[in-house]
């Protein structure tokens, strides 16, 4: 583990930039770039919803993903599912019974790592909205190359040639795994190592969140 920590000590994320309150008509919004990949997310709610859609125990969460091409696809529904599962774990939905929260995510540019960028963008939009959350969350992408090595934040070319791609989402409180989505073939040992490396790398994303929220608080203060 010690050698792994040394490796990650020098690891740097793709450059990240974010602007909160990007959309004036949303309760919370964020535009986030990780490298050249860019996503836009907005949060509306808690709002009144039709009785048929209400839950007496919690808010009804709806996630809508829009690709750059505009035509819905199976991959788009997959992204919605990932984001919905992640948000259902994070949002204190029992505080908002008989209401609805809608999260809209839009792909602006995809140069690799779109799903993890979208997840992180949604977290920032939720923070901006003020919706009560159990924990803040961060997604980290990694790939397993042809030699079986794990590559954190792979480039597009590395993703195309990878034998496996993994997205892991962690909570900030104790770095536990919130959701994980993988594709491709890999060994159990590789999977465990990938989780630990991505868990360590998530510290950099949480630090970025704190910096952005702090700057925003200073602006509105």
Give residue 7's pLDDT. Answer: 43
**What is the mean pLDDT of the segment spanning 38-64?**
87
Per residue in 131-169, pLDDT (tens digit) is 999 999 999 999 999 999 999 999 999 999 999 999 999
Beta bridge partners of 17: 33
Give residue 47's pLDDT. Answer: 86
Rounded Cα distance, 11 and 17, in Å: 18
Sheet-wide strand order for 137-144:
150-152, 137-144, 164-171, 177-184
Q: Enter the pTM of the model.
A: 0.91
Judged against a pLDDT cut of 90, whether residue 180 lies above it is answered with yes
Q: Which domains are delineated in the chain?
A: 2-220 (3.30.230.70)
Percentage of residues in the chain with pLDDT exceeding 70?
A: 92
Work out the mean pLDDT of the chain and round it to a whole number: 90
The answer to whether the CB of 112 falls within 8 A of the CB of 157 is no
Per residue in 93-111, pLDDT (tens digit) is 999 988 999 999 999 999 9
61 is written with which tokens? 């969460």
In the structure, what pLDDT confidence band is assigned to residue 10 with cuts at 50, 70 and 90? low
Judged against a pLDDT cut of 90, whether residue 51 lies above it is answered with no
**What is the mean pLDDT of the segment spanning 182-186?**
93
Per residue in 58-104, pLDDT (tens digit) is 889 999 999 988 777 898 999 999 999 999 999 999 999 889 999 99
Cβ atoms within 10 Å, residue 193: 16
Give residue 4's pLDDT. Answer: 36
């Amino acid at each position: 583990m010690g050698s792994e920590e040394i490796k990650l000590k020098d690891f740097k994320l793709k450059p990240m930039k974010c602007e909160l309150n990007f959309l004036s008509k949303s309760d919370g919004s964020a535009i986030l770039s990780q490298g050249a990949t860019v996503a836009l997310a907005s949060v509306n709610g808690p709002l009144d919803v039709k009785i048929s859609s209400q839950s007496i125990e919690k808010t009804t969460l709806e996630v809508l993903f829009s690709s750059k091409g505009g035509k819905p696809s199976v991959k788009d529904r997959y992204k919605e599912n990932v984001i919905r599962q992640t948000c259902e774990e994070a949002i204190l939905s029992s505080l908002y019974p008989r209401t609805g929260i809608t999260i809209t995510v839009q792909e602006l540019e995809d140069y690799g790592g779109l799903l993890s960028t979208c997840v992180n963008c949604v977290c920032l939009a939720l923070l901006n909205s003020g919706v009560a959350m159990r924990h803040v969350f961060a997604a980290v992408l990694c790939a397993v190359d042809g030699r079986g090595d794990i590559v954190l934040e792979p480039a597009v070319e590395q993703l195309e040639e990878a034998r496996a791609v993994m997205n892991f989402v962690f909570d900030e409180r104790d770095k536990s795994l919130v959701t994980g989505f993988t594709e491709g073939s890999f060994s159990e040992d590789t999977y465990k190592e990938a989780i630990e490396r991505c868990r360590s790398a998530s510290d950099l994303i949480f630090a970025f969140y704190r910096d952005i929220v702090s700057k925003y608080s200073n602006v509105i203060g």
